[in-house]
Copies of this chain bind each other. A is one copy, B any other.
Amino acid sequence: MNALPNLSATMPQPAGLGAQYTQVRQRTAALCEPLSPEDTVVQSMPDASPAKWHLAHTTWFFEQFILSRREGFKPFRPRWDFLFNSYYQSVGPMHARPQRGLLSRPSLREVMAYRAHVDAAMAEALAGEVSPEVAFLVTLGLNHEQQHQELLLTDIKHLLSINPLQPAYRDDLAQRRATASPLSFVDGHAGVIEAGHAGVGFAYDNEGPRHPSLLHPHQIAQRPVTNAEYRQFIDEGGYRTPTLWMAEGWDVVQRQDWAHPLYWSDDLQSEFTLGGRRDIDPHAPVCHVSYFEADAFARWAGARLPREDEWEHLASAQAAISGNFQDDDLLQPMPADEPSEGVSQLFGDVWEWTSSPYVSYPGFKPLEGALGEYNGKFMCGQWVLRGGSCATPVSHIRATYRNFFYPADRWQFMGIRLGRDVS
């Protein structure tokens, strides 16, 4: 498999891969523990998937891309391929995405047996010597599973939110109080920089190749927009002023009667969280806003969203990746711990919408074979978000990491950081 030479060369030694595998896989199962079997079946909207599907699909990924290449391989169940392939056309036909919620069978119990079966086979595969290709594929599979951990949380949040009983995912989630610092801006670098992944350690294909990029004079806000600031936008008629919006965004606002972020109550006092309904914290970063809302807010504020290379250059200079992540077990954006002089909350809390459409970097080559479908074919109509969220595992994020969603999507933990031109 000569598709990945440059990447596999840079992978960490296989030592520790088995432990990583175990840790990530157990984490996924742990995230499902608060769920009833019934919770794991339902698909609340076409964009979301049932938890049971996430559990099975991430398992299928290892079976398909690693185990099926081993001698003597037999699939756990012959027809599950069709059910748990997400979108890899090269691998074969697949069950239609909007119908994932119609599969009451296999049951959660059977899916957990599938996980155990594949985990046992993977343990065997990782016990002996592991080739660089396999090491890469396992690492890719674990990153893939971490992505689905985040989706699992956002999909469950959506499902519970539309239930009139408004049940909490968990009753034991802590909260953190702090006061947001006043909004200020820091100067960004101007001129030609190097952007994209440098090739050391794991990265997705869409993060490379490393390439020169030209930054124009600009500034970036030192922290994300807060709920209080967003509330002011609402109070001053933001959702009723068409000239603040992209034409397509204004259509969505009209058609779906948007008047506040997803999960906010109509009286703008409370919001639905994974810990149940809570009062809105004015100091916390605003969350669950679409690109359209982020862009309209920025226009209202006399600013714009940062470009992804502006964001990346600033983030690359941070001493460490720290912030409110899935590992912190808060599962909701929180105010920054203490007023910060420098830039805060670039990582964690909320994915930050950028003004960059999701397209390929100069010289981009997708992975060869079916895995080339992982990222490249979505480079149309979506926008880049950066920095990870309170639902992202900290080990999953990088300064070069490119997330992407459609401009009307709101169910991820998405927020806003402002940028502006300097002339």
Chain B contacts of A90 at CB under 8 A? Answer: 242-243
**Chain A contacts with B in 9-62, Cβ cutoff 8 A:** 36-42, 44, 52
Partner of A246, one of B249, B295, B380: B380
The interface stretch among A131-139, A210-218, A266-274, A409-417 is A210-218
Cα(A214)–Cα(B83), bound, Å: 45
Cα(A42)–Cα(B162), bound, Å: 15
Chain B contacts of A245 at CB under 8 A? Answer: 377
**Chain A contacts with B in 350-377, Cβ cutoff 8 A:** 355-357, 359, 362-363, 372-373, 377
Question: Residue of B at shortest CB range from A358?
Answer: B357
Question: Residue of B at shortest CB range from A355?
Answer: B359
B41 lies within 8 A of A243 (CB): no
A381 lies within 8 A of B105 (CB): no
A38 lies within 8 A of B102 (CB): no
Chain B contacts of A182 at CB under 8 A? Answer: none
Contact (A104, B38) CB under 8 Å given A89-B242, A247-B87: yes
Cα(A211)–Cα(B212), bound, Å: 17
A380 lies within 8 A of B42 (CB): no
Cα(A101)–Cα(B103), bound, Å: 12
Question: Residue of B at shortest CB range from A215?
Answer: B362
Chain B contacts of A38 at CB under 8 A? Answer: 37-38, 40-41, 52, 104-105, 107-108
12 examples of A-B residue contacts, CB within 8 angstroms = A36-B107, A83-B164, A87-B247, A95-B164, A102-B159, A105-B165, A213-B214, A243-B373, A246-B377, A247-B378, A357-B359, A380-B407
